[in-house]
Amino acid sequence: MLVKEIKEYKNIKEKARTYLCYIMGSNISYSSGEGSLETLLQNLDMLKHAIPKSEVVYALDANGRQITDNISQYPKLNGINKGKDKSNRSYYYNTVKHHRCEISDPYPSIASGHLIVTASFPIYDINDNLLVIICVEISLKNILRIIHPSSVDSIFGSGSKIVYTIFSLALFFVAMLLFLKGIISFVGYGLDFHKVEINDMFKSTILLTLSLAIVDLVKAIFEEEVLGKERKEGTGDSHQTMVRFLGSIIIALSIEALMLVFKFALNDPSQLLYAVYLIVGVTTLIIGLSYYIKVSYKDK
């Protein structure tokens, strides 16, 4: 799950920075010669209400030392950390370096234990001297809900995971039925393997291979759509499920074509042309799949 959330955040990071910086800039009014630290604290409290999903709001001085207590809706996070040195945090030195409002990459919160991001808004005096940096911490899940409503934790996202789980279980059940059917076709002959027909061997091979291909397809669907694991490299942004699905079809048709070649060669050579047509079709599918992967990789 975390891998998919981090990838989604990477895609919407600039939107998240723009949104949070706009909210922070709209709710903070502090410059040299106007207001005081009390005014700043009041604005910080207003900022907490302006971003209701925020976890912690605080201010750092120009050296990266926290000059206010945490302002948080959570009792265990509220009223602590004043005087703490945070000059080694990435959001501090990135803000100082780029001279603008920044947002950090996800990192684990020591207090809450889950992944959070920090938006940092610098305030300068008329001489362009850094006065304070206002920081807002918000959980990764909440920033995805705000900026990217169709994220994995949205209603639609949760519903789609349930649907994919149901389909995965159904496909796995079908694969097991094919597996049992393939095994039973041999069991019927007992230990007398001399009675086993070539056609029965091919049919059993098709069933077992198709069962294996479907299990592989189920694995790809469940890992990608339910568990949210990162897609494998080498196919660009192409959907692994599509590749596995086409691969399953190609494997089944290839075995079927091989079976027809032997069957017609032994019983009716005049029908071999139909087996050739099937082989050409399989070759076309392989070429099409190769082109699909190549184009997807170039578009990465």
Q: Cβ(145)–Cβ(154) under 8 Å?
A: yes
Which range in 31-35, 54-58, 222-226, 269-273 is most confidently predicted, on average pLDDT? 54-58
Q: What is the pLDDT of residue 281?
A: 87
Question: Is residue 149's pLDDT more than 70?
Answer: no
Q: How far apart are CA 85 and CA 99, in angstroms?
A: 20
pLDDT band at 173 (very low <50, low <70, confident <90, very high): very high
Nearest to 90 by CA among 113, 66, 117, 112: 117
In the chain, % of residues over pLDDT 70: 77
Q: Cβ(136)–Cβ(24) under 8 Å?
A: yes
Question: At residue 116, what are phi and psi to the nearest 5 degrees?
Answer: -135, 165
pLDDT band at 196 (very low <50, low <70, confident <90, very high): low
Q: How far apart are CA 117 and CA 153, in angstroms?
A: 17
Average pLDDT over residues 56-82: 85
Q: What is the pLDDT of residue 118?
A: 92
Q: Cβ(241)–Cβ(214) under 8 Å?
A: no
Question: Is residue 66's pLDDT more than 80?
Answer: yes
More confident residue, 265 or 67: 67
Question: Is residue 294's pLDDT more than 70?
Answer: yes
Average pLDDT over residues 166-180: 89
Domains of the chain, with CATH numbers? 2-147 (3.30.450.20), 155-298 (no CATH)
Tens-digit pLDDT profile for residues 213-272: 788 778 877 877 777 665 544 444 445 667 767 777 787 788 778 777 877 777 778 888
More confident residue, 298 or 96: 96
Q: Cβ(217)–Cβ(245) under 8 Å?
A: yes
Average pLDDT over residues 124-147: 85
Q: Cβ(282)–Cβ(218) under 8 Å?
A: no
Q: What is the pLDDT of residue 112?
A: 66
- Whether the CA torsion 264, 266, 268, 270 is positive or negative: it is positive
